[in-house]
Structure 1
Amino acid sequence: MSSKCQSVNYVPELFEDLAKCLREANRLPSQQDFLYFKGFEEFSGVVEHEENRVIGYLDKLSRIFEMPLNSYPNIYKAAKKCLDKVKDDLEQLQSPLGLRESLTYTLNKPQNTFKNLSDNSYSQYIPPILYKYHAKTDMPPGILKAQQLRMLEARGDKIDHYEEITHPYECEIESLCFQDFQFTPQQSYFTVLESTPFELVSTEEAFYKMIQELRQSSEIAVDLENHSTRSYLGICCLIQISTRSKDYIIDPFAVQGQMPVLGVILADPNIVKVFHGSDMDVEWLQRDFGLYIVNMFDTGLAAKELRYPSFGLAFLLKSFCDIDTDKRYQLADWRLRPLTNDMIKYARTDTHYLLYIYDRLREELIHKSMSMFQPPHTSISQVLELSRRLCLKIYEKPLIPKDLNNSDYYKLCKTRDFIARLEDENPEFVFPQTVLLAIASERPNTMNDLLSICDSKYLIKYGQYLLKKISREQPKTSFSSNFFTDAGWEEKANLLYEDEYEKMIKTDIGLDKVLSDVSAMMNAQSPGIVENCVDVKTHNLDELLENCKIDENSVPQSLEGIFELSNNSRKKNKTKAKNPVETPTGPEKIPNINIYKIFKEVGWE
């Protein structure tokens, strides 16, 4: 790196030069004017000189990447590699110590050490809540039944038969009556960060000590730091809590088993939980720890109610406390242990001043109501009601929207999503969106062509599988589109292989192995459905699916046995034979359907 690149002012100077370049580019004549001006010797001489410079740069790029730059796609790929390198170097350059190491995202995955592994399957999310603190009603039966079946290691395709999973604290949240002190802001002041007691909670003893201290407070500020780049569902890496006299940072990796006990604080209706922008925090607490919030005030909603020019926490910190925050740490890898001093300072800042901001916002809300000749508590009540709605949110696993056209891009998105679940990675980390678009548009035929687009390790590992996805011809199925009529059959088909999926997560068997096991599992559960089976040890997945044929006489009974969706299946494990599909002209015969076509129809390939 040159001495100029090491200069502190390098980045501002770079952006200044870039802005100047863009201004000059906008001054260039349009296509028709360009041809006119090129007739002037002075203008044409400058153009020729710049053309030679560009050709020289392309020649250097060609030697660096050892590829001929004789086409636009090749030039684009080479330029993209250069820009990616510049981007990485700039991030390293302007990142302070601690953040610089975390930007590489090469840390070990802490979720691999958790007692309960992440459930990346296609099954419905089951809340891990085991005990309901401050309960007015019993635990919803849907949650209890789902947990019992999961503990009994019930098949994944039974999940659709669970009773509806509802919010366990719905009654407590809906019936909550806000207390008088919530409408009366107190005269408070904030202390500087350095003079406030602080504790990093990373042991069981420190955790229970913190719980006892928090129970003495009537208001606490809460925030979370989440990481989603190297995890499919994401993991909560830090929980910051501040009272009016002390700051806490909880390391959930160190006290994973004790985290559900935090519900005694978060579900206490007598303690106000002050969040800022709690939309995702509410879901993250549910996802990782089975924690739910009762009685919350969201300062982000208050800022919207007051119509501030910005609703972010940085704006509120600057406006009320004259505090500037280093927002670069929003992109930090919070899995890093031990935390650096700068990371701890940033995390504490998110909650340390929040109770003071909470007081000032309530004053502003009262002034707003009075200025509109309304009762003083009107605006505060509106914010509290909106916060109540946020507390009622229920976490759901991410799903890819259905594409009726079944385009190549959609197939690639589904494949990427499946690989991300297997590897416990963010889909964008597996293959960026731009890579999927490039693959779908260029339709590479060989691994070399594929790797010329991107050399991701997952593209190397699953490249052959991706190539088959976009090269295979997809004939339309010959049976009626009304063959499956019950809602939810698509998800049920996906859940069919959940048991084998979990085995693969634990043993890292491989994609083709587990998917071929699905076919064997189907045949074992519905004898006679598969004939002409091939040896899965010597054939790949696609050969297996293309060569597995269904006996036409057993299609109705077999498919009903696999994709049964009616509630009658919960009462008895008996299925009745269906008649052939009816058409206006009589019964329609279904000749020789292969399994791959059925999987294609149900949206799982």
Structure 2
Amino acid sequence: MEFTTLSNNTIKIKLVSTPEQLQAAIADLSTKKELALDLEFDQNRFTYGFNLCLIQITDGKGICYIIDPFDLPDLQPFFQLMENKAIMKIIHHSNNDILLLDKLGCSIQNVMDTDVAAKILNYERSSLATVLKEEFNIEIDKSQQSSNWNKRPLTEQQLQYAAIDVVYLHEVKDKLLTEIEQVGRMHWLQEENSLLEKLRYTESENPHLRLKNASRLTYYNQFFLKALYNFRENLGKQLNKPSSYIIPNDALIELAINPDVDLHEWLNHTRGIHGRLKSPNYENKLRDTISKTMQAAEAQHISHDYAGSQFKRPFRTSETEKRKEELTSVQAEIVKQFGEFAGRLIINQSLINEYSYTGKLRCTKRYATQIVLDTATSIGVQLPQPEAIN
């Protein structure tokens, strides 16, 4: 499929859906120095899990490849392209793209994030639509933003939207880099991009405890919640549905609190329960899960005491308040010098709180550390030597 789509930028879209087409696209893109990239994905919205749905990539010279991973048995040629350090990958707000690629086994290299670049320049709003409007007076149609990217065939409107997310990125990158060089903050951008490349996808150790009000349950109820959460996850995988579509989070908490409930009545009178779970087969599987969990809780002598909050804020003292006040004054001076939104890249409330309670200054960025120390010196605030940066 090839057609011209954009009123402000003539672009030929090439849909890639066979191994042969992918090889040809990669052969072309591998000769370029800079590529603009964006991924469309579904993260527990229409399907189960964090899944790649579409890849948009262009060298900025008139061809935008849209790679459909659903029809491709092997994405290794694309992954190798992403891991090529000699080619810059221009991405706007790359965090989720990098995490998804890492989940798939690809460690992207040489990232240039235009969203971070905009923040360094103190953009109040750094979305791609805002940057295009403010820098180029280009307004883009975001009506397909909430599309279900799992559906096939893709519509022409979806392909247009997908292409828009990359076809302007080379221009955006050039404009923002020029401005960053002018204000002498290129080393900020280089370090921020390097940190992004180190992002790694990890699964939460106890995801059931992240549900609202889970920390307020007894240990016994939390024990049940974990078993019910795992049951729901497994069923979500089987049906390829977001797990909250199987049993809503609040209903899962309710069942963990009252596992002795009449399960048939509960399933048929609780709002949001997936129809498949109401079938005799799955109802019996859920009943069996509850029964086995009861037996395990008894055998392990799980306590009925309340677990309490997982986070306990340290006591405030005159010393903690003094440290907080000092670092807050440093933050105010940094915001005054660099702006509120650029300042957030340098120092944030989490850093201030940790220093207040522990007395340790844990800056994770070299450029930010130097700015914090220099600013503190300039206003007469004495700070300890920061923790070593790996």
Q: Normalising to structure 2: TM-score of the pair? A: 0.63
Give, in angstroms, the shift of residue 339 of structure 1.
1.1
- TM-superposed CA distance for 1:383, in Å, is 1.6
* CA positional deviation for 1:358: 0.7
**Alignment RMSD (CA, Å):** 2.9
Which residue of 2 is the match for residue 336 of structure 1? 151
Q: What's 1:273 paired with?
A: 89
Are the aligned partners of 2:208 and 2:225 in contact in 1 as well (CA < 8 Å)? Answer: no
1:300 counterpart residue number: 115
Which of the residues 223, 238, 246 maps onto 2:54? 238
**Aligned CA distance change for structure 1 residues 348 and 400 (closer, same or farther; 3 Å):** same
Instruction: Indicate the SS of the match to 2:71.
Output: coil
- The answer to whether structure 1 residue 391 and structure 2 residue 219 are counterparts is no
CA distance in structure 2 between the aligned counterparts of 1:326 and 1:468, rounded to whole angstroms? 50
Contact 2:111/2:197 (8 A) holds in 1: yes
Which of 6, 10, 13 is the aligned partner of 1:198?
Answer: 13
Say if 1:438 and 1:241 are closer, same or farther in 2 by CA, change over 3 A.
same
How far apart in 2 are the matches of 1:247 and 1:359? 19
Asked whether the 8 Å contact 1:282–1:391 carries over to 2, the reply is: yes
Is the contact made by 2:14 and 2:65 (CA closer than 8 Å) also made in structure 1? Answer: yes
Alignment partners' CA distance in 2, 1:349 and 1:406 = 51
Shift in Å, 1:469: 5.5
1:345 aligned partner? 160
* Structure 1 Cα separation of the partners of residues 10 and 123 of structure 2: 30
Q: Would you say the 8 A contact 1:445–1:467 is kept in 2? A: no
Q: CA contact under 8 A between 1:438 and 1:453: conserved in structure 2?
A: no
Deviations 1:536-555, CA, capped at 9 Å, x for gaps? xxxxxxxxxxxxxxxxxxxx
Q: Counterpart amino acid of 1:210?
A: A
Aligned positions of 1:89-108 closer than 5 A: none
In the TM superposition, 1:43-442 aligns within 5 A as: 192=7, 195-228=10-43, 229-245=45-61, 246-257=63-74, 259-288=75-104, 290-369=105-184, 379-401=185-207, 405-407=219-221, 408-440=224-256
Contact 2:46-2:148 at 8 Å conserved across structures: no
Q: Please state how far the C-alpha of 1:269 moved relative to its aligned partner.
A: 1.7
Cα 1:394–1:449 shift into 2, 3 Å: closer
SS of match in other structure, 1:414: helix
Unaligned runs of 5+ in 1: 1-190, 370-378, 482-605
Contact 1:262 1:291 in 2 (8 A): no
| CA spacing shift, 1:264–1:440, aligned 2, 3 Å | closer
The answer on whether the counterparts of 1:218 and 1:270 sit within 8 Å (CA) in structure 2 is yes
Please give the secondary structure, in 2, of the residue aligned with 1:198.
strand
Instruction: Check conservation: 1:400, 1:414, Cα contact below 8 A.
Output: no
Does the residue aligned with 1:253 lie in a helix, a strand or coil? helix
In structure 1, C-alpha distance between the alignment counterparts of 2:115 and 2:146, rounded to whole Å = 20
Contact 1:193 1:349 in 2 (8 A): no
Cα distance in 1 between the residues matched to 2:80 and 2:27: 10
Aligned to 2:266: 449
Task: State the distance in 1 between where 2:17 and 2:208 align.
Answer: 43
Deviation at residue 295 of structure 1 after TM alignment = 0.7
**CA positional deviation for 1:467:** 4.9
1: CA distance, partners of 2:265 / 2:55:
45
Residues of 2 paired with 1:317 and 1:436: CA distance?
43
Runs of 5+ unmatched residues, structure 2: 1-5, 210-217, 304-390
Q: What is the SS of the residue equivalent to 1:236? A: strand
Q: SS of 1:270's equivalent?
A: coil
Q: 1:345 to 1:478 in 2, by over 3 A?
A: closer
Using the TM superposition, give the Cα deviation of residue 320 of structure 1 relative to its aligned residue in structure 2, in angstroms.
Answer: 2.3
